[in-house]
Amino acid sequence: MIRGRRVAANPIGSSVSASHSALVPDWLIAPAEANELVAPVWPSSARRRHDGSVEIGGVSVFDLRDRFGTPLYVLDEDEVRAHARRARDAFASAAGRHGVRSRVYYAGKAFLSTEVVRWVTDEGLAVDVCTRGELEVALAGGADPSRLGFHGNNKSVGELERAVEVGIGSVVLDSPIEIERLAAIAERRGVVQNVLVRVRTGVHAETHAFLATAHEDQKFGFSLEGAADAVVRIRELSSLRFVGLHAHIGSQIFDSSGFRESAARLVDLHADLLAGGDIPLLNVGGGFGISYTSVDDPRPIEDIADGILDAIADECAVRGIPMPDVACEPGRVIVGQAGVTLYEVGTVKTVEIGEGRERTYVSVDGGMSDNARPALYGADFSARIVSRTSEATPALSRVVGHHCESGDIVVDAEYLPADVVPGDLLAVPATGAYCFSLASNYNYTPRPPVVAVRDGEARVIVRGETIDDLLARDVGAAASASTATPHGDTE
Ligand SMILES: Cc1ncc(COP(=O)(O)O)c(C=O)c1O
């Protein structure tokens, strides 16, 4: 995985044994003690109490474990709301300096539940969905359909029908086939549907690095040339109204350089297309990065918003065209840092891995079923013991799950106190985005509940699955065969 800006290479400290040192990734810093909750990684409400245990949103991890069990997704409501407001204000202020308006769509794929829809819409965000399921959750959460955007490279006829039926604000078109499909649906329903055209700008960004090529080999959107043809076709169709171009250049992006490059290419096309009519909007997508570990150092969203809006303004000025309003679609930066996953340690063992080296494996009661990102992308996370502090020497550890895969890694490399024992509560921060939404039932593991915390109160916003839930889909299973607890342990 391409890493972000590293603030230091690993200074192999005296606390690292020789047998461990070769296993330390070059970015991981040996801490003096392994108790600190590093600010940009944890929600700002996370703190240690007098007894050394951690609270989040004013709720003790012991209360969370006792009431809801582990593993558990904990989501800090104030943190989500604060990030939503910050994104909204950052883009409003950057756009305002250029005399245009902005719209921030929350990318629901990062984490969607009716409650989260309420939080982000309360804070003034629109919502971006990309399946019928996400659309229905957004509607059930009370989102105004006219403030919804609908994405996807293969939206079905049924999905498009439903989107038009509910009066969706805009559909981001992805292929020539979809243009005809949507036009026919809108015509049949007697409406004019606002559409954007998704463009592959040839800019792909991942964290701090971006690559600008003439072409991109990926499934989404139209090439720059193809997009021009698509817009010509859309303008011929009376049931569609072209409102702007769209591009999404990647994920976990730390600064605005990739966006600037993409904006240059988008504005070039936008300028050409103005010959055929007014274009009110430009959507630059999402992908703004967060700190998963203490060495990730994304630019503040205000800087990124300024960078993007300045780039668009410059490109428009060079071409002598009016600047459009600007939309964006952040997901991770809104919910990522607000989420913490709570686990209980089950086993700890040290494994000889050859050449005199050994690795400590700390096994927890979840894993790749609740956080697929390490297995899918080699993503790095951090971890802390949250039921107590420890003065024991920090020891390089690998946190793993309970699944039948050697790739079932939760945190590849982390310094945990050397005295970690079964029963300790271990928490992984920055799990608010793409963990719940990518969760699976692998090994017939019930998916954990999501609990929102705020002002010392905790409440379930998505209930956990039970063994009964799992058996319910198996037509051969007797419904009465299980007496499962909410967390699925059979009594
Ligand atoms: C089209 C589009 N918009 C927005 C996003 C949100 O990205 P992020 O959560 O990294 O901000 C994605 C993520 O894949 C996407 O594909």
At 210 the pLDDT is: 81
Residue 152 in contact with ligand 1 by CB distance below 6 A: no
Q: pLDDT: is 8 or 173 the higher one?
A: 173
Does 189 have pLDDT greater than 50? yes
- Residue nearest (by alpha carbon) to ligand 1 atom 10: 287
Does 374 have pLDDT greater than 60? yes
**Spacing, Cα 51 to ligand 1 middle (Å):** 40
Does 486 have pLDDT greater than 60? no
> What's the whole-number mean pLDDT along residues 413-419?
97
Give the active site residues: 404
Which residue type is seen at 389? T
Residue 149 in contact with ligand 1 by CB distance below 6 A: no
Q: Return the best residue to mutate from 329, 332, 373, 438 for the ligand 1 pocket (most ligand atoms within 8 A of CB).
A: 329
**Spacing, Cα 106 to ligand 1 middle (Å):** 9
Rounded to 10 degrees, what is the CA torsion of 52, 54, 57, 59? -90
> What is the position in ligand 1's atom list of the atom closest to the CA of 110?
9
Does 480 have pLDDT greater than 90? no
**Spacing, Cα 331 to ligand 1 middle (Å):** 6
* Token reading at 309: 């809006």
- Residue nearest (by alpha carbon) to ligand 1 atom 16: 248
DSSP three-state, residue 31? coil
Average pLDDT for the chain? 93
**Spacing, Cα 483 to ligand 1 middle (Å):** 40
Residue 83 in contact with ligand 1 by CB distance below 6 A: no
Strand partners, 74: 340, 451
**Segment 224-240, tens digit of pLDDT:** 999 999 999 999 999 99
> What is the position in ligand 1's atom list of the atom closest to the CA of 434?
9
Q: How confident is the model at residue 7 (pLDDT cuts 50, 70, 90)?
A: very low
Nearest C-alpha neighbor of 408 from the set 441, 373, 383:
373
Nearest C-alpha neighbor of 34 from the set 380, 415, 291:
415
**Segment 10-63, tens digit of pLDDT:** 333 334 454 556 789 999 989 999 999 999 999 999 999 999 999 999 999 999
* Token reading at 462: 């998505």
> What is the position in ligand 1's atom list of the atom closest to the CA of 336?
9
At 70 the pLDDT is: 98
DSSP three-state, residue 420? coil
Q: How confident is the model at residue 5 (pLDDT cuts 50, 70, 90)?
A: very low
Q: Return the best residue to mutate from 109, 201, 437 for the ligand 1 pocket (most ligand atoms within 8 A of CB).
A: 109
**Spacing, Cα 105 to ligand 1 middle (Å):** 10
CA-CA distance, 29 to 15, in Å (whole number)?
11
Q: Return the best residue to mutate from 219, 248, 337, 435 for the ligand 1 pocket (most ligand atoms within 8 A of CB).
A: 248
The answer for residues whose C-beta is within 8 angstroms of residue 11's C-beta and 6 or more apart is 29, 30
**Spacing, Cα 330 to ligand 1 middle (Å):** 6
CA-CA distance, 246 to 258, in Å (whole number)?
15
**Spacing, Cα 218 to ligand 1 middle (Å):** 15
**Spacing, Cα 200 to ligand 1 middle (Å):** 14
Stated as kind and residue range, the H or E segment containing 119 is helix 114-122
- How many other CB atoms sit within 10 Å of the CB of residue 9? 11
Residue 15 in contact with ligand 1 by CB distance below 6 A: no
Residue 415 in contact with ligand 1 by CB distance below 6 A: no
- The per-residue b/e assignment along 202-238, b for 16 or more CB within 10 angstroms, e otherwise, is bbbbbbbebebeeebeeebbbbbeebbebbebbeebe
Residue 330 in contact with ligand 1 by CB distance below 6 A: yes
At 19 the pLDDT is: 52
Residue 103 DSSP label? E
Nearest C-alpha neighbor of 277 from the set 319, 242, 316:
242
- Residue nearest (by alpha carbon) to ligand 1 atom 4: 286
**Segment 429-450, tens digit of pLDDT:** 999 999 999 999 999 999 999 9
- Residue nearest (by alpha carbon) to ligand 1 atom 12: 286
CA-CA distance, 340 to 46, in Å (whole number)?
10
Q: How far is CA 484 from CA 269, 343, 469, in A?
A: 58, 20, 9
At 207 the pLDDT is: 74
The answer for residues whose C-beta is within 8 angstroms of residue 247's C-beta and 6 or more apart is 198, 199, 200, 201, 203, 221, 262, 266, 283, 284, 285
CA-CA distance, 329 to 340, in Å (whole number)?
23
Q: Cα(first)–Cα(last) distance of the chain, in Å? A: 42
